[in-house]
Amino acid sequence: MNPNADTAVIIVAAGRGNRMGGEVPKQWQLLAGKPVIAHTLAAFQGLRVVLVIHPDDRAQAEDYGVTLVEGGTTRDASVLAGLRALEGSGVRRVLIHDGARPLVSRGLIDRLLAALATHAGAAPALGVTDALWRGSDELVSGTVDRAGLYRAQTPQAFHFNAILAAHLAHPGGAMDDVQVARDAGIDVAIVEGDEDNMKLTFPGDFARAEAVLKGRRMDVRPEIRVGNGYDVHAFCDGDHVWLCGVKVPHSKGLLGHSDADVGMHALTDAIYGALALGDIGRHFPPSDPQWKGAASHIFLAHAIGMARAQGFDLANCDVTLVCERPKIGPHAATMQAELARIMGVEVDRVSVKATTSERLGFTGREEGIAALATAVLVKA
């Protein structure tokens, strides 16, 4: 059962952001390649969201798949519109957030919801640490005691019925929802805010937000998977062999149920191995006649497709062919390019090389070809 099923988020994004400048309102300007509002919405993934917008922004807002409500001429009017949209929906807790604060953390959201267990309202804030002055005519005219002063942030969290009643009774003009709540006699708990949870107000704020997002990406450790593959095929009568997707002329062929591309089979098994999904035989049983003589690119494409379906990409792979003949060197670059094409990756992520077994063993006796492969998959 979802513990937040009775919780909704109202994101206020109907303003025009005149102090920011630009051709579009700040919530629709790009931050790290995506609109600011996209980052804000992502922070509340898994929660029910009401996005309060300006009528002019409806077309672009419809792309996000959340409930849209047109706002009023003031912030508190927009919040009330969002609250009215949730009436009768079973919501018991509501978070009210500024669309121009795209860096809110999940930890902050969790602290606010926890505070609602003992209070009807809760809001994040940071204590003022700088000296405070009064000034006039560009001169310091006095100082202000900073004790007990805080910098307010959003989201601000409330019991739904209490904040709806408070907004309905309020005459308007409030600085934020905490003021609306306090004017209605609701006690609001202060929870620890977050220095990164900035509100984008001036053009320079975008550079600061970009730096925060870059730091967060660097803090995320990617999931790395490594798989190994090994395959062997014996020589038989023929005039060519298929190796890593390339038809190589030779005095013999390779024996196998499919086209016996030993290099591609080893690489396919390496990818399956990294995913803990067995080997080619599990997915394409040799007992199934439909795979008799099949081109091995079918198997490799299937393996890399399964990797991508789980959110992985190929970081790099390395294939080693073990044989006395045919000579691989003249074909290695073509093989590298063909494997890269099949997997949809850059050529420099694919290595193909060869070695001999110094005339030892079955490869040394030219009875067949062996191949080893390693694949590294990465999920950010």
The answer to whether residues 171 and 263 belong to one domain is no
| Tokens found for residue 61 | 């807002």
Same domain as 281, residue 207 = no
Residues 247, 368 share a domain: yes
- What does the alpha-carbon distance between residue 260 and residue 334 come to, in Å, rounded to a whole number? 18
Residue 2 lies in a domain: no
Find the CATH number of the domain harbouring 368. 3.30.1330.50
CATH code of 140's domain = 3.90.550.10
Bridge partner residues of 246 (DSSP): 243
Report the amino acid identity of residue 139. Answer: L
CA distances (Å), 279 to each of 117, 234, 272, 351, in order?
51, 19, 6, 21
Check residue 107 and report its DSSP letter: H
Q: pLDDT higher for 8 or 1?
A: 8
Q: What is the mean pLDDT of the chain?
A: 93
Same domain, yes or no, for 179 and 41? yes
pTM score: 0.60
DSSP string spanning 274-313?
HTT---HHHHS-TTSGGGTT--THHHHHHHHHHHHHTT-E
Cis bond upstream, residue 326 (ω within 30): yes
Q: Does residue 160 share a domain with residue 23?
A: yes
- The CA–CA distances, whole Å, from 208 to 12, 13, 148, 212, 217 equal 22, 21, 27, 6, 15
Q: What is the pLDDT of residue 1?
A: 53
Per-residue pLDDT reduced to its tens digit, 280-311: 999 999 888 888 889 999 999 999 999 999 98
In a domain, 1, yes or no: no
Is residue 58 situated within a structural domain? yes
- pLDDT tier for residue 221 given thresholds of 50, 70 and 90: confident
Average pLDDT over residues 353-366: 95
Closest CA to 345 of 300, 298, 310, 280: 300
Q: Could you list the residue range(s) of the whole structural domain that residue 183 is in?
A: 7-218
Q: Half-sphere exposure of residue 37, counting CA atoms within 13 Å on the CB side?
A: 27
- Residue 125 scores a pLDDT above 80: yes
Looking at the structure, tell me whether residues 209 and 102 fall in a common domain. Answer: yes
The three-class DSSP label of residue 366 is: coil
The domain tally of the chain equals 2
pLDDT value of position 270: 98
Please check whether residues 52 and 138 belong to one and the same domain: yes
**Do 168 and 303 fall into the same domain?**
no
Residue 180 gets which letter from DSSP? H
CA–CA gap between residue 235 and residue 254 (Å, rounded):
4
Q: Return d(Cα 206, Cα 202) in angstroms, integer.
A: 8
Kindly state whether residues 98 and 21 are assigned to the same domain.
Answer: yes
Rounded CA-CA distance 1/145 in Å is 48
161 falls within a domain? yes
If asked whether residues 124 and 168 sit together in one domain, one would say: yes
Among 218, 244, 260, where does a domain finish?
Answer: 218
234 and 186 in one domain?
no
Domain boundary among 167, 201, 218: 218
What is the C-alpha separation between 376 and 313, in angstroms, rounded? 9
Q: Which residues contact 41 (CB under 8 A, 6 or more apart)?
A: 11, 49, 51, 64, 66
Between these two residues, 334 and 223, which has the higher pLDDT value? 334
The answer on 162 and 127 residing in a single domain is yes
**Are residues 224 and 378 in contact, defined by beta-carbon separation less than 8 angstroms?**
yes
Determine the residue type at 10. I
Amino acid 91 reads V
Cα(234)–Cα(362) distance, integer angstroms: 9
| 95, 48 Cβ separation under 8 angstroms | no
Q: Which of 202, 218, 234 is the C-terminal boundary of a domain?
A: 218
Is 374 in a helix, a strand, or coil?
Answer: strand
